[in-house]
Amino acid sequence: MFDVVVVGGGPCGATAAEDLARSGYKVALLDREGRIKPCGGAIPPRLMRDFDIGEDQLLAKITTARMVSPSGRHVDIPVENGFVGMVDRKDFDPFLRARAEAAGVTRFTGTFLRVDRTHGTEVVFRDKATGEEDALPTRLIVGADGANSRVGKAEVPGAENIPYVFAYHEIIAAPSAAGYDPARCDVIYDGRISPDFYGWVFPHGDTVSVGMGTENRGIDLKAATVDLRRQTGLAQCETLRKEGAPIPLRPLDRWDNGRDVVLAGDASGVVAPSSGEGIYYAMIAGRAAASACAACLTTGRAADLKLARKLFMKEHKTVFRVLASMQNAYYRSDERRERFVSLCHDVDVQRLTFEAYMNKKLVRARPMAHLKIGMKNIAHLTGLVSETYT
């Protein structure tokens, strides 16, 4: 009998499993393995501090972010007082799973099938090695099995209605040509690449992640990525991997079934709007789910599973609302995207944006800067500012 079975071994599930095991609980981690999520791989310094991630896990340190408008104008934003770390999920996820196992987690490799409550609660899965069904008896379940969560759809009301952005990227060999900067991330706001999200070029040391996302199911993601590679001079680089997956657009209103299941990470919808950032928020959600499970196991109250969502939203709800408002305001048309890139030229915007990114909270140290940004934002949205930046 396990105290908790965690389904899904990405950053969220591995974090939840490790936290619970270090707290003395008997934990199983069920993961399919072999699947690599399309991901730009950016992690902020706060993640490295909060989750004890060493620089040996980084493939690159990003010191500049380039925002590119539909007309090709761009602004380079320096990462002041630090860097953005880049990881490859191919290596990062196995590292986190191995660390969880070292903490005492029992690992199983297979595919989640269902929850069976005929004789207590059991997680039924298909073992990858044998192809046979097996079962893990448990007191609680954490569903950390991605945006298209089987656990969520089976157990948590409303989980099947979560809206998605469909993301696709190609991992390519890094070019040696002039103009490519291995310490710069490029974010391309162009309706020809994505009508409602963005494209990206993120360095990973010897490789590069090139991709895009969209909520529009009529868009050919692979063709759009081909266009993006051509547009950024990366068409001739060797393609090493191709990956695609849905990315949720907003947190679910409910994360638990009121009995013995709680969702976390992409399964609960915690990907930042506008930016699509997910690794940090997935790991925070995994930690919150572990805390909720620990409370439930201690008190015996199933209502304590609600703590997972409460803990997460208490700290990050405002940031998510601000980012969602920005996405709704600026991602609607190329005209709006042009104005967004123009707004990014502003030094106050640049500083507060990266302060918020690095620290994962809205910085209130300079109220006048916030007021100025609000006024500039209104001016750009209403067209009072002309597009004269170069």
Contact 88, 41 (CB under 8 A): yes
End residue of a domain, out of 275, 290, 319 = 319
Whether residue 172 is found in the same domain as residue 277:
no
Query: What distance in Å separates the CA atoms of residue 339 and residue 329, rounded to the nearest whole number?
Result: 10
> What are 206's two structure tokens?
């010897």
Amino acid in position 54: G
What CATH number is given to the structural domain containing 158? Answer: 3.50.50.60
**For the chain, what is the domain count?**
3
pLDDT tens sequence for the chain (390 residues): 999 999 999 999 999 999 999 999 999 999 998 888 888 899 999 999 999 999 999 999 999 999 999 999 999 998 877 899 999 999 999 999 999 999 999 999 999 999 999 999 999 999 999 999 999 999 999 999 999 999 999 999 999 888 888 999 999 999 987 778 999 999 999 999 999 999 999 999 999 999 999 999 899 999 999 999 999 999 999 999 999 989 998 899 999 999 999 999 999 999 988 888 899 999 999 999 999 999 999 999 999 999 999 999 999 998 888 888 888 888 889 999 999 898 888 877 777 776 767 767 655 545 444 444 454 444 444 454 555 443
pLDDT at position 135, please?
Answer: 98
* 367 burial via Cβ count (<10 Å: 0-12, 13-18, 19+): exposed
pLDDT at position 373, please?
Answer: 45
Residue 50 maps to a domain: no
pLDDT at position 390, please?
Answer: 39
Q: Give the pLDDT confidence of 181-221 residue by residue, as tens digits.
A: 999 999 999 999 999 999 999 999 999 999 999 999 899 99
Interaxial angle between packed helices 334-343 and 367-382, expressed in degrees from 0 to 180 and rounded to the nearest 10? 150
What per-residue string of b and e applies to 7-16 under the rule 16 or more CB within 10 Å gives b? bbbbbbbbbb
Chain centroid to Cα 313, Å, comes to 16
Whether residue 100 is found in the same domain as residue 217:
no
What CATH number is given to the structural domain containing 65? Answer: 3.30.9.10
| Residue (of 362, 360, 389) closest to 45 by Cα position | 360
Q: Which helix (H) or strand (E) holds 354?
A: helix 347-359
Residue 68 maps to a domain: yes
Q: Give the pLDDT confidence of 44-73 residue by residue, as tens digits.
A: 999 999 999 999 999 999 999 999 999 999
Residue 44 maps to a domain: no
Whether residue 14 is found in the same domain as residue 124:
yes
Containing domain of residue 363, as a range? 332-382
Residue 56 maps to a domain: no
End residue of a domain, out of 248, 271, 286 = 248
Whether residue 13 is found in the same domain as residue 158:
yes
Please say whether the dihedral angle defined by the alpha carbons of residues 362, 368, 373 and 378, taken in this order, is positive or negative. positive
Chain centroid to Cα 104, Å, comes to 26
